[in-house]
Amino acid sequence: MRKIKLFSVILIFALVITAAIPSIAYAAEGGALSMLTRTDLDKIDEVVRQNMSEGKIPGLSLVVVSGDEILYSNGYGYADVENKKSVTMDTVFELGSNSKAFTGLAMLKLEKEGLVNFSDPVEKYIPWFEVRYSGQKVTVTVEQVMNHTSGIPFSSIDKIPESDSDTALEDTVRTLVGSGLQTRPGENYSYATINYDILGLIIEITTGHSYEEYISRNILEPIGLRNTYMFSRDASAELARGYKVGFLSARGYDAPVYRGNKPAGYILINGNDAAKWMMTQLGNNSESVFDHELIEKSHEFLKASFANDVSYTAGWFVNGFTGEVFHGGGNPNFSSHIILDTKTGIGVAALTNMGSSPFPMDA
């Protein structure tokens, strides 16, 4: 119950803040930003601190953007409780499954360049890849992997090996070889984090570069994300300590390393870059030279799959009715949530150093 509640807390941050501050909506509609009032700021603090207390969350970085400006940003609590190190906008957190949007964007880039065709079977790029449905070998396409309609079960997360090896991605994907699917490929949506590890391996095979190197050079650099990291060691000076609840309180937890799950869940970011990432997604980052058509394509609403009016597209949940693009992320000792309103240009990100169990909206 507590782990599910933690995700709800982060979602509340995103929804309450965008709904409860009239000046944000006014700014988005009027084209000129209004200053947040003291009442607005007090409301944000009240919501954040209350839910942090209830969720046993040690530290949180919150940022709200509208257009090309940061409307609100603040660090709450501790990046390191034991050493009383406060969270700031420079504090780095693991993104959890909000990492998937970086992988999805990379795949769209490779598709545009003709290196990948989404209708191709996965085994065209990974010849030894083999899965079965009802005992029979079946074909899974790249598109089905991207949209979580591959049929790979959610429980496959338990197979991801602890590893920091250069072969970790291949080792992770090989755990699927010969395994059974829960549904026939293409028939139903079923979230499985390992789908995006398959995409990460395809990126490595088609480009000849490690996943980390490709993302750094082709996604992070063009966008101008200088405080987004592929390895925790690169962010060590500002990296928050991760926690999980034990005996009704937050306890420091040094989680295992799952490099083979990085394309799905282990990119790291701070609040400043989270703001820049959201501005990029909303078309308002003047520093970015990345192809914005690919960003827009990653937000395209496909056939509703996750729920009524909601589909999964290139690392994002997309609400075709409201225009909201969103995702949650839950690792053993970090959690996050990002929600973007493509109609108003408002984005909210909450990054925390408290673990959350993965489930379809948060894995």
Instruction: Please tell me whether residues 269 and 222 are part of one structural domain.
Output: yes
Instruction: Give the separation between CA 138 and CA 186, rounded to whole angstroms.
Output: 11
Cα separation values, 206 from 70, 124, 260, 295, Å: 37, 11, 17, 21
* Token pair of 273 as six digits: 């870059």
Q: Is residue 194 part of a domain?
A: yes
Instruction: Please tell me whether residues 236 and 331 are part of one structural domain.
Output: yes
Q: Is residue 362 part of a domain?
A: no
Looking at residue 198, its pLDDT comes to: 98
For range 158-173, the mean pLDDT: 96
Percent of the chain with pLDDT over 70: 86
Q: Is residue 361 part of a domain?
A: no
Instruction: Give the separation between CA 305 and CA 299, rounded to whole angstroms.
Output: 14
pLDDT band, residue 36 (cuts 50/70/90): low
**Residues 211-252: tens digit of each pLDDT:** 999 999 999 999 999 999 999 999 988 999 999 887 777 889
Which has the closest alpha carbon to 14: 316, 320, 270, 338?
A: 338
Hey, what's the torsion of the CAs at 50, 352, 357, 313, to 10 degrees?
110
For range 317-325, the mean pLDDT: 90
Instruction: Please tell me whether residues 202 and 304 are part of one structural domain.
Output: no
80: CB partners within 8 A, 6+ apart: 240, 241
Instruction: Please tell me whether residues 229 and 90 are part of one structural domain.
Output: yes
Q: Is residue 98 part of a domain?
A: yes
What burial class does residue 233 get, using C-beta atoms within 10 Å of its C-beta: 0-12 exposed, 13-18 middle, 19+ buried? exposed
Q: Is residue 111 part of a domain?
A: no
pLDDT band, residue 1 (cuts 50/70/90): very low
CA 50 to chain centre: 25
Looking at residue 43, its pLDDT comes to: 77
**Residues 75-119: tens digit of each pLDDT:** 999 999 999 999 999 999 999 999 999 999 999 999 999 999 999
pLDDT mean across residues, the chain: 87
Instruction: Please tell me whether residues 169 and 257 are part of one structural domain.
Output: no
Which has the closest alpha carbon to 201: 223, 228, 176?
A: 176
Specify the higher pLDDT residue, 282 or 11: 282
Looking at residue 14, its pLDDT comes to: 52
Which has the closest alpha carbon to 107: 258, 280, 297?
A: 297
Cβ(244)–Cβ(83) under 8 Å? Answer: no
pLDDT band, residue 191 (cuts 50/70/90): very high
Instruction: Please tell me whether residues 288 and 319 are part of one structural domain.
Output: yes
CA 56 to chain centre: 22
Question: Of 207, 239, 261, which residue constitutes the final position of a domain?
Answer: 207
Instruction: Please tell me whether residues 198 and 298 are part of one structural domain.
Output: no
**Residues constituting the chain:** 363
Instruction: Please tell me whether residues 155 and 253 are part of one structural domain.
Output: no
- pLDDT of 267 > 50? The answer is yes
pLDDT band, residue 358 (cuts 50/70/90): very low
For range 59-75, the mean pLDDT: 91
Which has the closest alpha carbon to 109: 205, 30, 203?
A: 203
Instruction: Give the separation between CA 40 and CA 20, rounded to whole angstroms.
Output: 8
**Residues 136-148: tens digit of each pLDDT:** 999 999 999 999 9
- pLDDT of 120 > 60? The answer is yes
Instruction: Please tell me whether residues 62 and 136 are part of one structural domain.
Output: no
Q: Is residue 329 part of a domain?
A: yes
Give me the CATH number covering residue 95: 3.40.710.10
Largest Cα span, the chain: 63
Looking at residue 309, its pLDDT comes to: 86
Domains contained in the chain, number? 2
Q: Hey, what amino acid is at 101?
A: A
Question: Of 163, 183, 207, which residue constitutes the final position of a domain?
Answer: 207
Looking at residue 31, its pLDDT comes to: 39
Instruction: Please tell me whether residues 146 and 201 are part of one structural domain.
Output: yes
Question: Of 158, 176, 207, which residue constitutes the final position of a domain?
Answer: 207
Looking at residue 356, its pLDDT comes to: 66
Q: Is residue 359 part of a domain?
A: no
Q: Angle between the 2-20 and 38-55 helix axes, to the nearest 10 degrees? A: 170
**Residues 278-311: tens digit of each pLDDT:** 999 999 999 999 999 999 999 998 876 666 788 9
Phi and psi angles of residue 253, each rounded to the nearest 5 degrees, phi first:
-140, 120
Domain that holds residue 171: 117-207
